[in-house]
Amino acid sequence: MFDLSQKVAAITGAGSGIGAAIATLFARQGARVVALDLNESAEATAAAIAAAGGDAVARRCNVAEPDEVADTFREIAATLGRLDILVNNAGIAHVGTIEQTTPDDLDRLYAVNVRGVFLCAKAAVGIMLPQGHGVILNMASIASLVGVPERFAYAMTKGAVHTMTMSIAVDYVKRGIRCNCICPARIQTPFVDGYLRAHYPGREDEMRRVLDAYQPIGRMGTPEEVATLALYLCSDEAAFVTGQAYPIDGGVLVS
C-alpha cells in the first residue's frame, strides 16, 4: 500500500520541517522527488534522500515569482517527463491581530501563501491535464477552520488555500486531477524553535509547554505525522478523495 513508484512528486518548501519530512517519506515510498525551496536548503534534503538510496533532485524556486515557477515546472516536465504529485507546502507566518498587521505584512504573506499556491497549482495543472491524472495537496492550517488568536494575516491566507483547494477539486474532478488540503495545528518545526528563540529568549521551554498545551492531546505534532497523512492523500489508496480539508490537530476541533 501507499506505493509511489514511478511517480514524480514536486514538494515546495522542502528544505526543512514538514516539507522535508514529506519529501523524505515520498522518496522512501518510491517517488522521484523534486525538492523545491527558496534557497539552497532543498539541496540538503535531496542529498539526505540520495544517501538513503532514494531518488531526489533539488531546485531553487521562489514560489511567489511567476517566471521562476513557470521555468521550474517547465524544467520538471522536460527532464522527468511527467508530474504526478504537487505538494504546496511553502509558506510563511505572521503573529498579530488586525491592529498589529500592516499592509506590507499582508502583501508579504499573500505573495507566498496565496499567490505561491496559485502559481504552482496552475503550472501543475498544465502538466497534469495532458496526462489525464494528477494529485495536488495544499498545506492549509487549523486556522482556516477555527479562530486562532493573533493570527489574522496568516489565517486569512490559509483560508484562501482552503477555498482554492475546493475550487480546484470541483473544476477538475472529471478530468483526472484530485486536490485536497491538510490543516495542521501546531507542529514542532525549526520555524517554531526560531520563533521561540527570537521572541522568548531564556523562556523557550516555558513557552514550548504553552504551545504544547494548545492541543488537548498535550503536545505539538511532528512533521513526520503530517507527512504520513500527506502520503495517504497523494497515493492511489485515496483515489476517491478530493476537495477535502483534513485536520491533524491533536484534538483542537473537538475540545
CATH of the domain at 92: 3.40.50.720
30 is a domain residue: yes
Q: How far is CA 7 from CA 75, 76, 77, 119, 175, in A?
A: 16, 12, 13, 21, 18
* Mean pLDDT, the chain, integer: 97
* Cell 509547554 -> residue: 209
255 is a domain residue: no
- The answer for residues whose C-beta is within 8 angstroms of residue 82's C-beta and 6 or more apart is 8, 127, 131
Same domain, 227 and 216: no
Q: Supply the pLDDT for residue 152.
A: 96
Same domain, 143 and 201: no
Handedness of CA 212, 216, 217, 221 (dihedral sign): negative
Same domain, 216 and 226: no
Same domain, 211 and 238: no
Q: Supply the pLDDT for residue 191.
A: 83
- State the Cα–Cα distance between residues 92 and 151, nearest whole angstrom: 12
Which tens digit of pLDDT belongs to each residue from 142-182?
999 999 999 999 999 999 999 999 999 999 999 999 999 99
Same domain, 142 and 44: yes
Same domain, 199 and 234: no
203 is a domain residue: yes
Same domain, 102 and 210: no
Same domain, 211 and 192: yes
Question: In 3D, which of 218, 248, 16 has the Cα closest to residue 142?
Answer: 248
Which tens digit of pLDDT belongs to each residue from 199-249?
889 999 999 999 999 999 999 999 999 999 999 999 999 999 999 999 999
Residues tagged active-site: 154
27 is a domain residue: yes
Q: Does pLDDT of 194 surpass 90?
A: no
- State the Cα–Cα distance between residues 159 and 170, nearest whole angstrom: 17
Quote the domain boundaries for residue 72.
8-185+222-250
1 is a domain residue: no
138 is a domain residue: yes
Same domain, 93 and 179: yes
Q: Supply the pLDDT for residue 164.
A: 98
- The answer for residues whose C-beta is within 8 angstroms of residue 202's C-beta and 6 or more apart is none
Same domain, 212 and 227: no
Which tens digit of pLDDT belongs to each residue from 64-95?
999 999 999 999 999 999 999 999 999 999 99
Same domain, 73 and 198: no
Same domain, 104 and 229: yes
pTM, whole model, 2 decimals?
Answer: 0.96
Residue 198 pLDDT level (bands cut at 50, 70, 90): confident
User: How many domains does the chain fold into?
Assistant: 2
